[in-house]
Structure 1
Amino acid sequence: MTTRLDLEIGILEFYDHFVIGLVNPDVNFGQKERLLFLKACLEHFKEKPFGYISVRTFSYSIDPLIYLELNKVESLKAFAVVYYSKVGKGNAELEGQFYKKLFGIFETQSEAMKWMTQQIKPD
């Protein structure tokens, strides 16, 4: 990890080519929250391609329509979800239907990090 950013709704941990997002419990993750996380990611990575790993340690709600906007972010090349329950896996599968780029669903953070490293290759 290179940088950790604590925000009011969660934590972003930045690595060379991807970021891990951990949203706080009981957050309603909608467009406002998406913009907060996305702004931090774009400021960190500048124009460099990156991936996002959502680690779903805590229960929170997410608006799957945010993916329609994330599809438009050119530098965001891949998205992964790490789930810890059957419901979490089902939610991730639903979300994946809205995201039109590379989308992975994993049982462990290490699997997601390995996959993301393969997807986001340095120039």
Structure 2
Amino acid sequence: MNQLYEYDFGVIEVHDFYLKAVISEGVTIEKEISTLIISIANKHFPKKPFGYITHRIHSYSVNPIVYLEVAEIENLVGFAIVSENPSKLENSNFEKFFIKKSTKAFSNLDKAIQWVKELVEKKIDVT
């Protein structure tokens, strides 16, 4: 891990080719939080392809409008949703309608990281 950001709303980890977010229980992700996460991404991956992994350990909600901002991040190549809870993974099917990037749900963090790595490597090979 390269850097760790801790906030009241959760923790953001910056790794070589992805950001991982663990959002706190009961939080609603609105524009302000989304803007902060995007600024972290822009700081660490200004022109480099990267993935975003949301590790859903806790229950929280996301304003779907936030995904429109996420779609604007040109170098974001994939959005992985990780949860061991099957109903949370079911909810990810709804989110896919709003996320205009490659999106996939996983019950295992390591598999999500591998998927993101493959997307990043493909993007690097193409450019």
Q: Same fold (TM over 0.5)?
A: yes
Aligned residue in 1 for 2:108: 108
Inter-partner Cα distance in structure 2 for 1:113 and 1:84? 15
CA offsets 1:34-71 (integer angstroms, 9 cap, x no match): 11111111111122111100000001111122112211
How many angstroms does 1:119 deviate by? 0.6
Other structure's SS at 1:120 match: helix
Whether 1:98 and 2:98 are equivalent positions in the alignment is: yes
How many residues are aligned here?
A: 123
What is the root-mean-square deviation in Å for CA atoms of aligned residues?
A: 1.4
Whether 1:40 and 2:40 are equivalent positions in the alignment is: yes
Inter-partner Cα distance in structure 2 for 1:14 and 1:31? 20
Q: Residue 13 of structure 1 aligns to which amino acid in structure 2?
A: E
Inter-partner Cα distance in structure 2 for 1:65 and 1:91? 16
Structure 2 gaps, min length 5: none
Structure 1 gaps, min length 5: none
TM-score computed with the length of structure 2 as normaliser? 0.89
Inter-partner Cα distance in structure 1 for 2:100 and 2:44? 23
Other structure's SS at 1:116 match: helix
How many angstroms does 1:18 deviate by? 0.6
Runs of 4+ in 1 over 3 A off after TM superposition: none
Aligned residue in 2 for 1:72: 72
